[in-house]
Structure 1
Amino acid sequence: MDWKSDVPRWRQVYEVLEERITDGTYPPGSQLPGVVALHAEFGIAQMTARRVLSELRQAGLAQMQVGVGTFVTDLPKP
């Protein structure tokens, strides 16, 4: 996390998680860290963590299961 960067914090965390999804660290079907875990790992506000998860869902990389968590979707084959 580069606190002095012009890139918004949510975007920096988004890019880290996107990389972890595409490199297989978080394979399809696996649960992503929740808001509290993202807050602890990256030192971001919980509202920022919620935005990161929302942006991942909007990009089609994740889906939320209410009351359970956010999970990686099946990625299209290149």
Structure 2
Amino acid sequence: MEYDPTQPKWQQIADVLRERINSGEYPPQHLISEVQLESEFEVARVTVRKAVRALREEGRVVTTPGMGSFVAESDAGE
């Protein structure tokens, strides 16, 4: 992925994840793997966590301690 230097990387990653959720590529209950995203986007874990946190604040992702982050059942963004 080529990053736009005018926007934070975490925001651009959140946009990609949001699109994957909206398109159904990431269905409800899909595990959002920080390790996989860190490798895919070639960024630090903290960057991935900021992106996931933004989606959690929008209600698109639910995080369960000890289990991980999952796509929410009902998408609050629609």
TM range (shorter): 0.7 to 0.9
Q: CA shift at 1:31, angstroms?
A: 1.3
Q: Which segments of structure 1 move beyond 2 Å, counting only runs of 4 or more?
A: 1-5
Q: CA shift at 1:49, angstroms?
A: 0.8
Give the Cα–Cα distance (whole angstroms) in 1 for the partners of residues 23 and 61 of structure 2: 15
Larger CA deviation: 43-52 vs 67-76: 67-76
Give the Cα–Cα distance (whole angstroms) in 1 for the partners of residues 14 and 24 of structure 2: 15
Map of 1:66 onto structure 2:
65
Give the Cα–Cα distance (whole angstroms) in 1 for the partners of residues 69 and 3 of structure 2: 26
Q: CA shift at 1:69, angstroms?
A: 1.0
What residue ranges of structure 1 are gaps of 5+ in the alignment? Answer: none
Tell me how many residue pairs correspond in the alignment: 77
Deviations 1:19-71 (A, max 9, x none): 00000001112212x22111100001111111111111001100001111111
CA RMSD of aligned residues (A): 1.7
Percent identity reads: 36
Give the Cα–Cα distance (whole angstroms) in 2 for the partners of residues 28 and 50 of structure 1: 19
Q: CA shift at 1:4, angstroms?
A: 4.8
Give the Cα–Cα distance (whole angstroms) in 1 for the partners of residues 9 and 48 of structure 2: 9
Q: Secondary structure at the match of 1:70?
A: strand
Map of 2:25 onto structure 1:
25
